[in-house]
Amino acid sequence: MRELLRQAEARGWQAEVYWVTRDRCSVQFRLGQPVAVLGEVTDFCMVRVIRKGRLGMACGTRPGPELIKTAGAAAGQGGEAGFSFAAPTPHAELPPPHPELPGIGAEDLVPLGARIVREIAGVHPKAPLVVSLERTLDTLRIAASGGLEREARLGRVQVSFGAPFPGAGSGLYKTVAYPGPPEFPAELVEEFSEWYGWGREVASPPPGRLPVLLAPEAAFLLALPLAAGLSGEALWQRTSPLLGKEGERILSDSLTIWDDPMREGDPFTRAFDDEGVPCHRRPLVEAGVLRGYLYDLRTAALLGEASTGNGFKRALFGGGPWASPNPWPARPVIQAGKTPWRELLALERGLLLYGGMGFHSSNYLQGQFSVQGLGFYIEDGRPVGRLSGTMVAGNIYQELAQPLKLSRERRELPGVVAPFILVSALQVAGSRG
């Protein structure tokens, strides 16, 4: 990598090399049997070059001289960079991945998958169950002109399982991740079995405004619009509803949301972002008050700020090693409340949502969402059936600025760490066939 940088510097260019080696193994069960067992090691490299103030990039499977040449040629036609690559600065040292993680192979995951299948099949023998288990170990290297060199090993085991509801276009799925060897997710398997049973019947809620309990899996209805509004990109374009509101209350005072990539034992910990800038634990929203924005190197330079260590190769609906860095939370964590979630379920009439389809068509940048609700209708404190063709809509800066109740239970999901959140009312529409 350092040789590539020397080649760029000899031409008078700045350069950055991002190289990730991914060691991955996985197994998938369908209808009770393992049908796909995979093991692979792949490399991906992106080179970015600033040539005469213009930015160019090139992608390949491994770092090589051709990437520098291609990125330099692209910079000849590229747009103005407006920033410099990250400089070498101190960052926190995180412990390496669990020592047993590299030795976990697909064959080691099969017994756990088989046990999940047995436990759920004992309750729902006809459920078309899908179980996926994956061990990932990434070696991430970032180097840039000016002396920056970073390297980290990131690893986890992720377990997902679920099934579609018979005759429906939707289903129920659960996910859990572990920083080391996985355990049997007994609580999650029990929850799936119970909730899947709630979905045997279809129930249609009355139209109008109803209280809605957002399961942790549905916290994206809050987290994604908020991430979009906090993004330095939206601030620079002056399209963010949060522009100029730092220090003001924007959400319920029940909500405190941290960007916390340094959590001990979290399978998604990071010491630096995808540009090599150190990550930090910091509040984004504290008791409803806006405390900070998200900047990568480019948007920080455009706005006269410093990068907050939030330059990640992610986007609202995608991302990957080949993507350009964008402002994004490193690890959003919603602070839990004090009430057991089953007490929050005690609604005369309302919904329990674990997901929603069609979020991409919402005006999420302005905090709005309108989705086909995935979840259950609640009457007299108990679920009476799953939703079908029910639309749920709201605006996080309106409905989630009202008093909320949060559960003491909290779940660590790939995109967010979140409790159950009881929203006093969202707009619900759908036929009562």
The pLDDT value given to residue 432: 52
Give 229-251 pLDDT, tens digit per residue. 999 999 999 999 999 999 999 99
Share of the chain above pLDDT 90, in %: 86
The pLDDT value given to residue 433: 46
CATH number of the domain bearing residue 142: 3.30.2290.10
205 and 181 in a single domain? The answer is no
User: At residue 265, what is the residue type?
Assistant: G
Region of residue 393 (left: phi > 0; alpha: psi -120 to 50; beta: else): beta
97 and 170 in a single domain? The answer is yes
Q: Are 152 and 271 contacting, i.e. CB atoms less than 8 angstroms apart? A: yes
206 and 144 in a single domain? The answer is no
Rounded Cα gap, residues 41 and 191, in angstroms: 34
Concatenated DSSP letters for 213-270?
Answer: EE-GGGTHHHHHHHHHHHBHHHHHHT--TTTT-TTSB-S-TT--EEE-TT-TT-TT--
The answer, yes or no, to whether residue 155 has pLDDT greater than 60, is: yes
Q: Which of 195, 230, 245 is the last residue in one of the domains?
A: 195
Q: Which of 170, 195, 220 is the last residue in one of the domains?
A: 195
Please give the average per-residue pLDDT across 108-134, as a whole number: 96
The pLDDT value given to residue 279: 96
Q: Are 204 and 430 contacting, i.e. CB atoms less than 8 angstroms apart? A: yes
283 and 150 in a single domain? The answer is no
Average pLDDT, the chain: 94
Please give the average per-residue pLDDT across 154-180, as a whole number: 94
159 and 299 in a single domain? The answer is no
Which domain range does residue 392 map to? 201-433
Q: Which two tokens stand for residue 329?
A: 């939370």
First to last CA, the chain: 63
DSSP structural state of residue 358? -
351 and 380 in a single domain? The answer is yes
Rounded Cα gap, residues 276 and 150, in angstroms: 6
12 and 159 in a single domain? The answer is yes
DSSP structural state of residue 48? E
The owner of tokens 């374009």 is 237
89 and 113 in a single domain? The answer is yes
Handedness of CA 402, 405, 410, 411 (dihedral sign): negative
Neighbours of 236 (CB within 10 A): 18
The answer, yes or no, to whether residue 187 has pLDDT greater than 90, is: yes
The answer, yes or no, to whether residue 112 has pLDDT greater than 90, is: yes
What H or E segment, with its residue span, contains residue 418?
strand 417-429
The pLDDT value given to residue 93: 85
Give 363-390 pLDDT, tens digit per residue. 888 999 999 999 999 999 999 999 999 9
Rounded Cα gap, residues 84 and 329, in angstroms: 21
The pLDDT value given to residue 431: 56
Q: Which of 195, 210, 227 is the last residue in one of the domains?
A: 195
| More confident site: 256 or 168 | 256
Distances (CA, A) of 288 to 16, 97, 237: 38, 35, 24
134 and 246 in a single domain? The answer is no
The answer, yes or no, to whether residue 210 has pLDDT greater than 70, is: yes
191 and 211 in a single domain? The answer is no
Q: How confident is the model at residue 299 (pLDDT cuts 50, 70, 90)?
A: very high
The answer, yes or no, to whether residue 60 has pLDDT greater than 50, is: yes
279 and 411 in a single domain? The answer is yes
Give 300-359 pLDDT, tens digit per residue. 999 999 999 999 998 776 778 888 999 999 999 999 999 999 999 999 999 999 999 887
215 and 324 in a single domain? The answer is yes
The answer, yes or no, to whether residue 361 has pLDDT greater than 80, is: no
Structurally, the chain folds into a number of domains equal to 2
Q: Which two tokens stand for residue 205?
A: 């809620």
pTM score of the predicted model: 0.94
